[in-house]
Chains A and B, each alone.
Chain A
Amino acid sequence: MSTIKNFFATRWGIISVGAFIGIFAPLLQKWGNPANMGVCVACMERDIAGALGLHRAAVVQYMRPEIIGFVLGSLIAAYAFKEFRARAGSAPIVRFVLGAFAMIGGLVFLGCPWRAALRLSGGDGNAIFGLLGLIGGIWIGTFFLKGGYNLGRAQKTHTSVGWLLPLIMLGFLVLMLIFPQVPGQEKSGVLFYSVKGPGSMHAPLLVSLAIGLLIGFLAQRSRFCTMGAIRDFVLFRQAHLLLGFITLVVVAFIVNLILGQFNPGFEKQPIAHTMSLWNFGGMVLAGLAFCLAGGCPGRQLFLAGEGDGDAAVFVLGMIVGAGIAHNFGLASSPDGVGHYGIPAVIIGLLTCLFIGFTMRKEVA
């Protein structure tokens, strides 16, 4: 008897989803998104924070439709396959804090696990230190998991609780349509737009939205998770999710080669710096925070789409964390780490250790 009826939950399912993302992320770059940033959950949520004016870094302000698509695509898949389950109440404040520090760590590296993979597939050698940091952070997290760390049980709740983040995303989309980008203008209605820098670079709205919806749909079905990929391998020697992540890197590398987007090296890589220790350290923080929160930034969006209110709080934590990161000068730039980036990483790591050591309640 086949116990798994969902094709996307099979080995070939997860591989095909990794391949899909590996094809379309570099294509999104060709169609307008910034280099090695076809899909970067952290960068795109940071741009959303900018579009809302939560920070005023002029070069990273755009309401990224891919993120909206991720959540709504997952919502559609969850309803189509009767998997939408509104649930919440598993230590939401912890998830918010973890989200904020995951974002801060990510912005010290300049990317999330998704972008680390895309940077590597585009030839950016600095991504190696980021990926090593990610593995290191997750590895630390697995010790907490083995030691009984957990954030407690979520409870079934009103369906409308699970709808809130998808509705917020729908609201963001409506704002984009009411206040569309005006060439050369920094503001349209209530939304901020970049006129130069990465925030000004984007694929056409409908293309971004369509690909975001498709990725959201497929990732909900396959449970694609870049953090889980590494965690499951470290913890259980299980390579299921890892196959998807590796496929993403390999396919994106091939597509980058075909499109002429592969430029190997360390210096002058797009939206990247060469401070290896902090490329590593930033991602140790992000990896540990993702591990303690139970999912990579993409997975948190997909979970939020299928009704997980705690994952939704993590997403909001990331968006607010991006605001803090830019307002406080924690985020890196191609010149190197931000003024207060290093202390922020250390404080973040200490906070994660505090969470990991003290939240080890036995599950009754």
Chain B
Amino acid sequence: MSNIVDARGLSCPQPVLMTLNEIKKVNKGEIVVLVDTDTSKENVSRAATTQGWRVKSIEPEGIGYRIIVAKD
């Protein structure tokens, strides 16, 4: 089961901080990040990529997005 980071409603830089903390914790695998603004979507994607993770998918969910980042 994927780990879920729920960053909805949180402003900069919380979504990125939470994602990076989770990345540090799990090291590899899949993380689901929930965000509610396009800025957070871009920031989380950019931050994960710089950590060597790839953005597997971004799907609209509710008023925001469900981002899945992964590392093998």
Contact = CB atoms under 8 A, between A and B. Distances in A.
Nearest to B37: A85
A258 interface: no
Interface residues of A, number: 33
Interface string A1-13: 1011010010000
A152 B6 CA distance: 12
A219 B18 CA distance: 25
Contacts of B43: 223
B12 A6 contact: no
Interface in A274-316: 294-295, 308, 310
Interface string B15-52: 01110100000000000000011110011011101100
Interface residues of B, number: 26
Nearest to B11: A294
Contacts of A81: 38
A-side binding surface: helix, strand, loop or mixed?
Answer: loop
Nearest to A11: B46
Contacts of A154: 9-11
B39 A236 contact: no
A238 B50 CA distance: 9
A96 to B, nearest CB: 15
A310 B58 contact: no
B63 A156 contact: yes
6 contacts: A6-B42, A90-B9, A223-B43, A235-B17, A294-B13, A310-B11
Interface of B: 6, 8-14, 16-18, 20, 36-39, 42-43, 45-47, 49-50, 55, 58, 63
